Amino acid sequence: MLEQRFLDIRHLDAGYGRSQVLFDLSLDIPWRGGTAVLGRNGAGKTTLMKAIVGELPSWRGEVVFDGHDFNRLQTEQRVRAGIGYVPQEHSVFSRLSVRDNLAMGSLFNTDASAIDRVLAIFPKLGHRLDQAAGTLSGGERKMLAIGRALLGNPKLLLLDEPTEGVWIGVIEEITERLIELAKEIAVIIVEQHLDLALRVASKAYVLDRGRIALQGAAADIRTNPELLRYLAP
Ligand SMILES: Nc1ncnc2c1ncn2[C@@H]1O[C@H](COP(=O)(O)OP(=O)(O)OP(=O)(O)O)[C@@H](O)[C@H]1O
Q: How far is the CA of 145 from the centre of ligand 1 (A)?
A: 21
Instruction: Concatenate the DSSP letters of all residues of 138-169 into one string.
Output: HHHHHHHHHHHHHTT--SEEEEESTTTT--HH
- Pocket of ligand 1, beta carbon within 6 A: 16, 19, 21, 39, 41-47
Residue nearest to atom 18 of ligand 1 (CA): 44
> What's the pLDDT score for residue 6?
87
Q: How far is the CA of 178 from the centre of ligand 1 (A)?
A: 25
pTM for the model: 0.93
With a CB cutoff of 8 Å and minimum separation 6, the contacts of 232 are: 40
Task: Report residue 88: phi and psi, to 5°.
Answer: -65, -40
Cβ neighbours of 9 (radius 10 Å): 23
> What's the pLDDT score for residue 107?
73
- Domain positions in the chain: 31-57+75-231
In tens digits, what is the pLDDT along the chain, a chain of 233 residues?
A: 444 458 999 999 999 999 999 999 999 998 889 999 999 999 999 999 999 999 999 999 999 999 899 999 999 999 999 999 999 887 899 999 999 999 887 776 667 788 899 999 999 999 999 999 999 999 999 999 999 999 989 999 999 999 988 988 899 999 999 999 999 999 999 998 889 999 999 999 999 999 999 999 999 999 999 999 999 87
> What's the pLDDT score for residue 90?
78
> What's the pLDDT score for residue 53?
96
> What's the pLDDT score for residue 214?
96
Q: Are the beta carbons of 231 and 39 closer than 8 angstroms?
A: yes
The number of residues in the chain equals 233
Cα torsion 225, 34, 70, 86: sign: negative
Residue whose CB lies within 8 A of the most ligand 1 atoms, among 45, 52, 194, 209, for a mutation test: 45
Taking the domain 31-57+75-231, which CATH number applies? Answer: 3.40.50.300
> What's the pLDDT score for residue 110?
66
> What's the pLDDT score for residue 210?
97
Residue nearest to atom 1 of ligand 1 (CA): 16
Q: How far is the CA of 44 from the centre of ligand 1 (A)?
A: 6
Residue nearest to atom 25 of ligand 1 (CA): 41
